[in-house]
Structures are given as structure tokens and as C-alpha cells.
């Protein structure tokens, strides 16, 4: 544990505060849950657009691997990930969280 607290707590605070660098650094110390990894994708969508696509594809692969969803759920997840940077990003985020 660091003087600032447990890495998971630090990660959650970094996500809440929009601190990409701290979230990335702390994420490397953790085995993020699928939901925590999705929060990082959301953070990229909001603050680091150049990193969104790669993170989204990695998240989608992990979602498929861990949840074994049907094709329809995979298509919905992929479409929602693609919409994160659009005007419908909040709705897309809710859809993704609902898939978990």
C-alpha cells in the first residue's frame, strides 16, 4: 500500500477526477475488473481521444473472453463503444455498463 492509499482507491479517485496519467499508472499495478477497465475507456473517451479505439478493442476482446456473450451482445457492445465519443456517449456508456 502506498502512503496515498490502496492502489484501487487511488485508481477510482483518478477516474473520478479525470486524471488519465494517474489512472494509467495505477491500472498497471492492478488486475482491473472488466467494469474498472471500462471506466478507463470512458476516461479516454472524455480526455484522450487518441487512446479510445485501442482501449475499446482490448476491452471488447476481454468482454467476449470473460462473458462469452452471444453475437447480438457483441454487436451491441461494439456499437456502443463506437458511440462513446458522439453526442450519444452517455447513453452508450449506460448500455455498456448494462451488458456487464
Per-residue pLDDT band at 42 (split at 50, 70, 90):
very high
Q: pTM, whole model, 2 decimals?
A: 0.90
Q: What percent of the chain has pLDDT over 90?
A: 94
Three state DSSP letters for 66-97: HHCCCHHHHHHHHHHHHHCCCCCHHHHHHHHH
- pLDDT tops 80 at residue 18: yes
- pLDDT tops 90 at residue 3: no
What local confidence, expressed as pLDDT, does residue 4 receive?
58
Residue range 45-66, pLDDT digits in tens: 999 999 999 999 999 999 999 9
- Structural domain boundaries in the chain: 7-99
Amino acid at each position: 500500500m502506498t502512503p496515498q492509499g490502496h492502489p484501487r482507491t487511488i485508481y477510482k479517485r483518478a477516474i473520478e477526477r479525470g486524471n488519465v496519467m494517474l489512472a494509467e499508472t495505477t491500472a498497471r499495478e492492478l488486475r482491473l475488473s472488466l467494469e474498472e477497465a471500462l471506466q478507463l475507456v470512458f476516461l479516454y473517451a472524455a480526455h484522450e481521444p487518441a487512446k479510445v479505439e485501442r482501449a475499446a478493442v482490448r476491452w471488447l476482446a476481454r468482454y467476449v473472453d470473460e462473458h462469452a456473450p452471444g453475437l447480438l451482445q457483441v454487436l451491441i457492445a461494439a456499437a456502443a463503444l463506437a458511440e462513446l465519443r458522439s453526442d450519444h456517449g452517455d447513453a452508450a456508456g449506460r448500455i455498456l455498463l448494462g451488458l456487464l
